[in-house]
């Protein structure tokens, strides 16, 4: 059985010196952007099961998993198999004076669940050292035997940016889970995998940059965006044919 999954993360760009004109859409040179370190941990991503790469234009970062699957049913021995998670800690190297921020996620996967089984796909994004976070969760009710696409677009106007004075560590905690009534004979599986049919989960992070709005002209606290109050725009959940 083949499954698919993809999550893009949009990141955005600002100069600590006052610009002559708006430079919010200016991208730094691609050579200055790369993954400095990536760590992962969780039941859905054991050691050795994760790989990563950048797209040619350096705007899409892809992490691929090969053991991200949840199962439920009478033949499943461990109750813990009904929930899997993977926490990603992504440290990016980017030019001094620039920031980035998440503005959207896309997840593709496959659910094979009986009636009475409910599948959930969730994600939480936050920066290390910050209490603000944004959460997204979608539910699939069985019977369901098809691919799905989960898309969340965060309002860029309220996005929270990476720290001004340090290379920001982005944390993405994803999870999948299955539930059913007690003693139910219903069964199912929920997997995230690559769209090319290889057995693995694929998360794509699209990066958008801006020159940093830091220094003496910091925004007042009352004007700073709060991630857990973000507006989720154009959210969609689509069954793929």
Distance CA 173, CA 230 (A): 17
Of the listed ranges 30-34, 124-128, 195-199, the one predicted with least confidence = 195-199
What residues does each domain of the chain span? 30-240
pLDDT in tens, 105-125: 677 788 999 999 999 998 888
Mean pLDDT of 39-68: 80
The pTM score is 0.70
> Which residues of 13-117 form beta strands (DSSP E)?
34-41, 50-54, 60-65, 69-72, 83-93, 98-100, 104-113
Residue 146: both structure tokens together = 């098809």
pLDDT of residue 117: 98
* pLDDT for residue 165 is more than 50: yes
């Amino acid at each position: 059985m083949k499954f698919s999954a993809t999550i893009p993360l949009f990141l955005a760009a600002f100069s600590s010196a006052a610009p002559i004109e708006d430079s919010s859409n200016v991208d730094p040179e691609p050579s200055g952007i790369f993954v400095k370190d990536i760590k992962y941990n969780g039941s859905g991503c054991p050691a050795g099961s994760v790989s990563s790469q950048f797209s040619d234009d350096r705007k899409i970062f892809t992490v691929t998993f090969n053991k991200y699957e949840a199962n439920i049913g009478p033949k499943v021995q461990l109750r813990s198999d009904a929930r899997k998670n993977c926490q990603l800690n992504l440290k990016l190297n980017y030019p001094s004076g620039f920031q980035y921020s998440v503005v959207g996620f896309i997840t593709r996967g496959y659910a094979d669940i009986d009636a009475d089984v409910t599948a959930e796909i969730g994600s939480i994004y936050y920066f290390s050292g910050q209490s603000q976070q944004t959460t997204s969760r979608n539910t699939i009710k069985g019977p369901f035997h098809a691919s799905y696409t989960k898309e969340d677009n965060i309002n860029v106007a309220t996005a929270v940016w990476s720290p001004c004075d340090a290379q920001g560590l982005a944390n993405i905690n994803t999870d999948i889970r299955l539930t059913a009534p007690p003693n139910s004979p219903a069964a199912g599986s929920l997997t995230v995998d690559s769209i090319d049919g290889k057995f693995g989960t694929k998360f794509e992070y699209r990066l958008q940059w801006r020159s940093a709005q830091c220094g003496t002209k910091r925004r007042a606290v009352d004007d700073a965006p709060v991630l857990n109050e973000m507006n989720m725009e154009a959210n969609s959940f689509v069954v793929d044919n």
